[in-house]
Structure 1
């Protein structure tokens, strides 16, 4: 077992990004159906995409419904202005296509593949983190999907077959993501079950769980489509209001241990039930009117993002001003405190305490064998640390 520890002054789960920045790269992944985007079909949408993505500020974006490769230079110049981005080479398949954008300061694009289905290609993008400041290199594989649309048993079966095509070709890299426009109408659909069931070819985890349903007020916070009803121009698209969770990000079991679940966001969805109504009917409480207008015009889908942690770096936890210390010791961690019976706790990225107790000796062992691999906050007395197990 390899354990990496970083000493920090403050540990707050809701600000994990800043807490872990020195120990590993916290990477924001985003999926966005960009509604038949090409320069020829921009329809005034570039400023809207720029406003949206410069607010979200993802490090990696996978786009669906790409109609032409000219999205690459256009977005790098005029949309993703907050970073140093590159795009994947455009591959023109059947129907609309996929495109990857990634921060060149964080990643190298290793390769990409396509898997054909009866309707359109599924894209695979393999990224490697850059080695910086001693950070170990990680590889992440991202699958971008745009499954068959429309309700009904035949369409659901086709979505299931498309997902099976992906899973039959999935790589064995531990860190993998399936993201995109799934077009599913519930968790009982074959496509969702093929990806998330415990007995599937390779299991992926929905960070938000599998209890959500469509078009029901109590689950309104999950919905990503449609942002509008009747809207002239703005790339076309469909109406119908916000009542479906079509856009999802699911992660491999290994990556789930490094997924900051609290960051999973359907950007622009404030959780207010507006079934079959537009994003501002009733008034949106999480983004202002200008952002609502941007989201409605840019696409009929909301972007979805989540933060994951990649890479790790060896770091000392020794702090001469503190009465508590922490060090790895085989399959255990040793904690030390000059104050007898100091409380200690281990907390995962969801804020759940997975172990706790009090120091009993000068060096108290904490057995980590039963705790899954992942990223944890460790508190011993007044000393706090972020640990990658």
Structure 2
């Protein structure tokens, strides 16, 4: 994750280049076939900028790729309106910072190591790279403008407008490897509490082999730290219905223990 120097001008371009060179130097410590993601606010205006070219230099020890391979001069260019990520607002007034000017820059990137374009062990999913919230019809406009409708609805775009002057960039990865699901025998638990499976779609089984008279209360939290559910164990085994949970990673903590477990909710 990185945040390269902002603003135009040769001096700022050189600073961005030096920051990228530091990343490239770090990758020299990795194996050539390492899976690498390099993402963040690059503040790059064009694909001819030295920093962008350095990232994609195929002679680097770990060769990188731009998943959407869309070179050009992205700044203030309507041809690239579908991949612009900044700014979500035409004015910065009232937000205590951030940029205005409307959606007209591709500043935010996720780069992948070249092997992730083809290696079935861990591979970029074709056409999954998105400027989240950008329907491709909001050039130089507020992201929440009613004329910017599409796949990303008004509620989502309102939230993005209020959240930041940048849009998130998202993509999907896929693998042909078997996902190992932890299956712990009920009476062979090494920790104070454990899960039957770490990947669930509907029912989550929690083992608490030593229920006590103390507070056996638990909380389930999402990756934002928000508590989604509280529950108490009933005996050694408690089964929870998590079918209504959104897809993603969740954490379970005990109110009186430092132990934290995690599980992946799938559909």
Query: So what's the TM-score if we normalise by structure 2?
Result: 0.59
1:280: how far off? 3.5
Q: In structure 1, how many angstroms separate the alpha carbons of the residues matched to 2:127 and 2:86?
A: 21
| Structure 2: gaps (5+ residues) | 180-267
Q: Which has the higher strand share?
A: 1
Q: How many residues align?
A: 171
1:310: how far off? 4.5
Q: In structure 2, how many angstroms separate the alpha carbons of the residues matched to 1:312 and 1:300?
A: 38
Tell me which of 205, 218, 237 is aligned to 2:98. 237
Structural mapping, 1:250-261, within 5 Å? 250-257=111-118, 258-261=123-126
1:273: how far off? 4.9
Q: In structure 2, how many angstroms separate the alpha carbons of the residues matched to 1:303 and 1:229?
A: 18
8 Å CA contact retained: 1:234, 1:298: no
Aligned to 2:17: 160
Q: In structure 2, how many angstroms separate the alpha carbons of the residues matched to 1:232 and 1:291?
A: 21
| Structure 1: gaps (5+ residues) | 1-143, 315-389
Structural mapping, 1:240-389, within 5 Å? 240-257=101-118, 258-275=123-140, 277-281=141-145, 282-310=147-175, 312-313=177-178
1:232: how far off? 4.5
Partner deviation per Cα, 1:214-269 (whole Å, 9 max, x = no partner): 22122111100000022544452111111110000010012222110211111011
- Which runs of structure 1 show a deviation greater than 4 angstroms over 4 or more consecutive aligned residues? none
Q: In structure 2, how many angstroms separate the alpha carbons of the residues matched to 1:238 and 1:313?
A: 44
Q: What is the aligned-residue RMSD (CA, Å)?
A: 2.1
1:206: how far off? 0.3
Higher relative contact order (CA 8 A, sep 6+): 1
Q: In structure 1, how many angstroms separate the alpha carbons of the residues matched to 2:148 and 2:131?
A: 17
Partner deviation per Cα, 1:267-295 (whole Å, 9 max, x = no partner): 011112523x2113433323222221110
Tell me which of 168, 172, 194 is aligned to 2:30. 172
